[in-house]
Amino acid sequence: MNIDVHAHIIGPAFYDAMKKIPGVTTVPNRYGTGILKNGETVINVNQDFFAPNHHLHEMDKRRIDLSLLSLTTPNVYVFPKEMQAEAARLANDEAFDRARKLPDRVRVLASLPLDDIPASIAEINRVAGMKE
């Protein structure tokens, strides 16, 4: 069995939330769209990432049987500290939703707002009860 333990995800709702952060702008580039915060590139996003079967197609192309998904860089830390817990919930909900649609192929490594330990513990408890 081939297992990819370093697969990243970014969901459309998380992407939209990133675009609303103060100081964030977007710019078209060769990858698709660049998200910049205060003029510096945070991440480049290709709209293909949001296609329902994009990740599955990439897995099949590379003969990957199982992927462990984690939120891509910059994770929740691009958000102001007071928004990181909600960003983690949003990202985890999208990742678990994807895993539920592909139960034999995908697992989730949850994102945590580590700048806020009580919120991180709350998110661990919340996702511990979620089904993949």
| pLDDT confidence tier of residue 47, bands split at 50, 70 and 90 | confident
Percent pLDDT > 90 in the chain is 89
Q: What CA–CA distance (Å, rounded) separates 36 from 41?
A: 4
Contact (CB, 8 A) for 7 and 55: yes
At residue 130, the pLDDT reads: 85
pTM for this entry: 0.92
Question: Is the pLDDT confidence value at 35 over 90?
Answer: yes
Question: Is the pLDDT confidence value at 90 over 80?
Answer: yes
